[in-house]
Structure 1
Amino acid sequence: MTSGDELCTRPATELAALVHSRAISARELLEAHLARMDRYDAVLNAVVTRDDAAARAAADAADAALAAGAPVGPLHGLPVAHKDTHATGGMRTTWGSPLLRDTVPRADELVVARLRAAGAIRVGKTNVPEFAAGSHTVNPVFGATHNPYRHGLSAGGSSGGAAAALAAGLVPLAEGSDMGGSLRNPAAFCNVVGLRPTPGRVPTWPAPMGRSTLSVQGPLGRTVADVALQLSVLAGPDPRVPISLSDDPAGLAAPLPERLDGLRVAWAPDLGGRVTVDPAITTVLTASLPVFEDLGASVVEDCPDLSGADEVFGTLRAWLFDASFGDLVRRHPDQIKETIRWNAGLGARLTGTDLARAEQRHTRLHETVVEFFTRYDVLLAPTTQVLPFPVEVEYPTEIAGVPQEDYLAWMRSCTLLSPTGCPALSVPGGFTPGGLPVGLQVVAAPRLDRRVLEVGHAFEQATRFGEHRPIL
């Protein structure tokens, strides 16, 4: 007999097969996860809104559909948690803000609807920083999410509740979003897998600025194959989304290789001297590099020229923040956190010339990385510049003795890559001697999302770092 705790630590791909074959029921799987939430989440604070009754009804309906022989989706019966910035019809969505703490959307947004259509069972909402701003999950509505590997430390963000829930076995699948690292950073902090897809791979709707490529939505999972499975149902065109990609997503979930023969790998430990990284992180990742050579790849130290990436990211982020939060900031300045007020204020002062210069640099940056990836198949880099830090700290103000100028500076290992348009995967990269997780970032040319999944999977299978679960 499979125990509830064992079910809650299995890969989602295995759980999907068990439900489809009726070896376990969707209701049994759901109850195991709800019981685990009851046991551990009061301490973690990862899943902040639940509707157990609705989830049980959905699980019973999933079992009835299987019993009747009805066609079912690839995620049929799997519990899933949604980021608390993503609208869920009939379930509270707060964006981590006191201004919106009682908001109940009338309909699902697209990322939620696609998971539901694939058969996933909605169990709740995962914690975020206020309006998803910043890579540390704490807000005035629900408080801080704790790292499953060490209570009292950050789970990262802004999809920190999602990553913590996955690592702790509270759900087998979760989703999030990423502007400056919000899928990658928490994956690294919590020893799970997070993918920032190519912009347009996972269409975002509704979106007030539908042509923007800076923020994307995407999957998190405990294994790369779990992420690939979820991506295969999240991806695909939508006529309402002007940048959505038309590629057939079915192949994204195909079996992943375990060898990397002939792969050309570039390793950029500090992104060409542009970021300061805690030496403990660099030490862990450098020790893991020989794995790629053992798998048949060649590895050299190199990095694309990321000149202008800071300006592009900073300008376009500020523009988006003013468009998204400027009115709220002006109407409720005392109820919005200072970092959002600062970022929206920068956006309000931008000129047309500022935006034009940023877009020109954006274009040159794209051309630069496309040329770089004619010489290499993937780029490897640290996902984060720091290890998980105390939850009481809003954001790191220095790294290895180097002062950080604002609340975004410590995330530059991710923010420099966001405006390139490249898919970027964070995969477990090892542990410090003190037992803290470290993430390895795998980056490929725009639209080659399948490639980062293949490389991440081969590394994951060779190292098994992701199988080291936290002691709760």
Structure 2
Amino acid sequence: MSDLVFQSTSQLAKAIRERSVSAREVLEAHLSQIAQHNRVLNAIVTLDEEQAISKASQADAALAQGELWGPLHGVPFTVKDLFDTAGVRTTWSYRPLANYIPQQDATAVARLRNAGAILLGKTNMPQLAIGPQSDSPLFGRANNPWNLKYTPGGSTGGGAAAVAAGLSPLEIGSDLGGSIRLPAHFCGVFGFKPTEHRVSMAGASPRLKGAKRSLQHMRVAGPIARSIEDLRLGLSLIEGPDGRQWSVPPVVAEPMQERPLRECRFAWTDNFGGIPVTAETRAVIEKLAVTLEQLGCRVERCNPPDFNFTEALQTFGEICGTEIGMTTPPLKRLLLSMVLRARSSGEPLFQGLIKGAALSMRRYVEALEKRDALIAIMEQFMSDWDAWLCPVAPGPTFTHRQMRNPLLGEPLEVDDQKLPYWVWSITYTAVFNLTGSPAVVMPLARSQTGLPIGVQVVGRRWRDMQLLSVAEKLVGVTGFFQCPPGY
């Protein structure tokens, strides 16, 4: 194993600029790590090796002539296999798209390339990005580098596994209900869901016959990395308007208040609407709160007053169901078939999806109005705090589960209890897609079985850089990235 593969994106970029290491050496170190470990992890499903080698050689030649391509000159990166990549297949893990090769990059990909970064490959995900596991009908399942018997999560599971195992220093994923945050939590890395519409999703919709850009709300793109510094760098490069998705506004400089950790204010909770978490999860988050209080921070255990978590999940489902059903016929058929088989569960998410799939414009507008009201409650609550500390999920990662229906998995354990599969998977994350709030996941502890446990750190809408600044201060307490054994 080369030390290069566990250096941060920022460190690699600096070393290449200063010519203490070449872009070719960095790339070859990652290719060697991929050759050694990807066979069992199945994290990277399309490797653009030939083009990456050529581009790395060009990067070194450019630097030798005094030409700097940008802040990520010569640094490799990976992207989830739903972002368009010019000349490289983009499958969505969906058989009808198995051989689709885009002609244009997604905005997030184009911006990293324009910053000098080199596309290394595409990462594994579930079919059409539906599910908290990354088991692809095209490529097979991705495995967790901490224990191959466990899932790396979904739907950016391959990307989180790749970053954790040193196959890639930086991943761009997408998040509709926790698809960046859950894999980051499961794999012990850092992941960031920006404020809704801060990053363009242009080039991240399935190219299916009759399909339009289906989801107009709640779905975002964001980075996965091994440090907060890299999350900040990644966000700064991909954010802002692009002339393709007009809902993305200009980036406005945030009023930054640099102050020591002891002056920060933290709310915390381990309870979203009575959904239990494991004793280990509760203990490590409470320990973090106690430690912060001992350091002088203002800390309080609380939830937003009058925020109904059950209503939030149902509203999330209503909006998703309506937007998918209105604009993407193949996805509508798939969604309806899955939901109708799952409707007997009575879960708020499924009830919302059923209502949304009925395509009632009145219901859709009502759902958006309910969403606005819930956003207002969340923003009012967050105005009193620098960050809100929450679980990412009821527990650490779980063993691989077989499913015939992506919406129907077997119940998952919470100590001596069991929760429905989707209640366990998205209760603590989808809330912040509904409210559009930025949220960062940070490694926090290890379970008794040695699996990562993360903490979700939530901020106010459009205060993403402020939130990352607070998270960077927290790292001194929560701890830095740790490499999985054997990598």
User: What TM-score, normalized to structure 1?
Assistant: 0.91
Shift of residue 71, structure 1, vs aligned partner? 3.1
User: Residues 43 and 365 of structure 1: is their aligned pair in 2 closer, same or farther, counting only changes over 3 Å?
Assistant: same
More moved, 294-303 vs 439-448: 294-303
Shift of residue 44, structure 1, vs aligned partner? 0.4
Supply the distance in 1 between the matched residues of 2:275 and 2:284 (Cα, whole angstroms): 17
Deviations 1:142-180 (A, max 9, x none): 111111111110001110000000000001111100000
Correspondence 1:227 to 2:241: no
Partner of 1:447: 462
Supply the distance in 1 between the matched residues of 2:242 and 2:232 (Cα, whole angstroms): 19
More moved, 262-271 vs 16-25: 262-271
User: Residues 468 and 291 of structure 1: is their aligned pair in 2 closer, same or farther, counting only changes over 3 Å?
Assistant: farther
Partner of 1:277: 277
Correspondence 1:111 to 2:120: no
Unaligned runs of 5+ in 2: 206-211, 343-349, 404-408
User: Residues 301 and 341 of structure 1: is their aligned pair in 2 closer, same or farther, counting only changes over 3 Å?
Assistant: same
More moved, 455-464 vs 187-196: 455-464
User: Residues 125 and 258 of structure 1: is their aligned pair in 2 closer, same or farther, counting only changes over 3 Å?
Assistant: farther
Shift of residue 92, structure 1, vs aligned partner? 1.0
Partner of 2:430: 415
Shift of residue 325, structure 1, vs aligned partner? 4.6
Structure 2 counterpart of 1:204, from 182, 201, 216: 201
Partner of 2:38: 41
Supply the distance in 2 between the matched residues of 1:117 and 1:276 (Cα, whole angstroms): 45
Shift of residue 83, structure 1, vs aligned partner? 0.5
Structure 1 counterpart of 2:411, from 397, 400, 408: 397
In structure 1, the residue corresponding to 2:262 is in which secondary structure? Answer: coil
Number of residue pairs the alignment of both structures matches: 462
Shift of residue 339, structure 1, vs aligned partner? 6.2
Map 1:197-346 → 2, pairs under 5 A: 197-206=194-203, 208-209=212-213, 212-247=216-251, 259-271=260-272, 273-304=273-304, 305-307=306-308, 308-323=311-326, 325-328=328-331, 330=333, 338=338
Supply the distance in 1 between the matched residues of 2:76 and 2:337 (Cα, whole angstroms): 33
More moved, 202-211 vs 214-223: 202-211
Supply the distance in 2 between the matched residues of 1:154 and 1:191 (Cα, whole angstroms): 12
More moved, 347-356 vs 182-191: 347-356
Correspondence 1:433 to 2:448: yes
2:185–2:452: 8 Å Cα contact kept in structure 1? yes
Shift of residue 387, structure 1, vs aligned partner? 1.8
Unaligned runs of 5+ in 1: none
Supply the distance in 2 between the matched residues of 1:202 and 1:463 (Cα, whole angstroms): 27
More moved, 382-391 vs 154-163: 382-391
User: Residues 42 and 233 of structure 1: is their aligned pair in 2 closer, same or farther, counting only changes over 3 Å?
Assistant: same
1:258–1:461: 8 Å Cα contact kept in structure 2? no
User: Residues 225 and 243 of structure 1: is their aligned pair in 2 closer, same or farther, counting only changes over 3 Å?
Assistant: same
Shift of residue 296, structure 1, vs aligned partner? 3.8
Deviations 1:31-53 (A, max 9, x none): 00000000000000000101211
In structure 2, the residue corresponding to 1:176 is in which secondary structure? Answer: strand
Partner of 2:209: none
More moved, 425-434 vs 344-353: 344-353
User: Residues 387 and 396 of structure 1: is their aligned pair in 2 closer, same or farther, counting only changes over 3 Å?
Assistant: farther
2:214–2:327: 8 Å Cα contact kept in structure 1? no
Deviations 1:340-399 (A, max 9, x none): 986776543141222122111111111111211222221110011232111234445244
2:16–2:74: 8 Å Cα contact kept in structure 1? yes
Matched letter for residue 267 of structure 1: W
Supply the distance in 2 between the matched residues of 1:352 and 1:318 (Cα, whole angstroms): 12
Supply the distance in 2 between the matched residues of 1:340 and 1:92 (Cα, whole angstroms): 32
Structure 2 counterpart of 1:354, from 354, 363, 385: 363
Supply the distance in 1 between the matched residues of 2:410 and 2:18 (Cα, whole angstroms): 48
Matched letter for residue 464 of structure 2: D
1:383–1:413: 8 Å Cα contact kept in structure 2? yes
Deviations 1:392-440 (A, max 9, x none): 3444524435554563553110012211111011011111122110110
Supply the distance in 2 between the matched residues of 1:178 and 1:470 (Cα, whole angstroms): 28
In structure 1, the residue corresponding to 2:221 is in which secondary structure? Answer: strand
Structure 2 counterpart of 1:382, from 364, 378, 391: 391
More moved, 455-464 vs 101-110: 455-464
Partner of 2:75: 78
Matched letter for residue 370 of structure 2: R
Partner of 2:139: 142
More moved, 303-312 vs 342-351: 342-351
2:356–2:364: 8 Å Cα contact kept in structure 1? no
Matched letter for residue 157 of structure 1: G
User: Residues 337 and 52 of structure 1: is their aligned pair in 2 closer, same or farther, counting only changes over 3 Å?
Assistant: farther
2:92–2:129: 8 Å Cα contact kept in structure 1? yes
Map 1:62-77 → 2, pairs under 5 A: 62-77=59-74
Supply the distance in 1 between the matched residues of 2:76 and 2:294 (Cα, whole angstroms): 37
2:339–2:354: 8 Å Cα contact kept in structure 1? no
Partner of 1:179: 176
Shift of residue 294, structure 1, vs aligned partner? 4.8
Supply the distance in 1 between the matched residues of 2:172 and 2:340 (Cα, whole angstroms): 23
Supply the distance in 1 between the matched residues of 2:338 and 2:266 (Cα, whole angstroms): 41
User: What TM-score, normalized to structure 2?
Assistant: 0.89
1:211–1:243: 8 Å Cα contact kept in structure 2? no
Deviations 1:41-88 (A, max 9, x none): 000000010121100011011111111111321111111011001111
User: Residues 306 and 418 of structure 1: is their aligned pair in 2 closer, same or farther, counting only changes over 3 Å?
Assistant: farther
**What fraction of aligned residue pairs are identical, expressed as a percent?**
34
Supply the distance in 2 between the matched residues of 1:336 and 1:67 (Cα, whole angstroms): 57
Supply the distance in 2 between the matched residues of 1:471 and 1:285 (Cα, whole angstroms): 28
